[in-house]
Amino acid sequence: VQFAQDHGMLLRGHTLLWHSQVPDWFFTDPKDSSKPATREQLLKRMETHIKTVVGRYKGKVYSWDVVNEVISDSNGLRGSSENSKWKEIIGDVDGDGFDSDYIELAFKYAHEADPDAKLIINDYGLESTGRKRTDMYNLIKRMLEKGIPVDGVGLQMHISIYSPSAKEIEECIELFASLKEYNPDFTVEVTEMDMSVYSWMQQKKEITNELLERQASRYKEI
């Protein structure tokens, strides 16, 4: 934070809520670690965590990835089968039939801690056409319709020289940009872009000038 301030740099906070790298105790009963925490206990811990971190850096971090990688690779929101316990424990708090309440509350807590910070929902695999992109769009649209302070979506953009196409990426950006209908300041951000010269699970190969030129050409195209 000090380095960013000393050099006139914008600082992004990543990430307040994730399924990975959360200590086990966060999801357990404080009196019996063999039992899960209650909804109320987990919500209180989540609120304390978010407001402590965001509050500490209020006015110094211009943008937060509030929640990261919440969309499942198989269907809907990531659950316990994908090592995420947020949804199972917190569930549908407001009774609207959707179990995305922990995401909505995370944004509310972050906004309360720093009303001026941009609040982003970040994920991978949105660049390609498919269910995951649609699920994220529907989630954000529903939150915006409820007045949840979502300021943008972050596209991690871990891609390769083989896919997705520039056209798919453009379609993705345009789809999420249409959410400006609900929030005129809604932004679509590329947050972690890298482009592999390997296809998925491909074994080690010789990296030729032809591959590197293809990579450079793809960067330019995108």
Reported as a single tens digit per residue, the pLDDT across 106-164 is 999 999 999 999 999 999 999 999 999 999 999 999 999 999 999 999 999 999 999 99
Quick one: pLDDT at residue 83? 85
Q: Is the C-alpha dihedral spanning 61, 65, 26, 44 positive or negative?
A: positive
Known catalytic residues are 69, 123, 192
Quick one: pLDDT at residue 153? 98
Compute the distance between CA of residue 146 and CA of residue 216 in angstroms, rounded to an integer: 42
- Tokens 């379609």 found at: 171
The helix/strand/coil state of 185 is coil
- pLDDT class of 204 with cuts at 50, 70, 90: very high
Beta bridge partners of 7: none
Compute the distance between CA of residue 176 and CA of residue 158 in angstroms, rounded to an integer: 18
Quick one: pLDDT at residue 214? 96
Q: How many H-runs (helices) and E-runs (strands) does the chain carry?
A: 7, 7
Compute the distance between CA of residue 191 and CA of residue 155 in angstroms, rounded to an integer: 6
The token duo for 171 is 């379609």
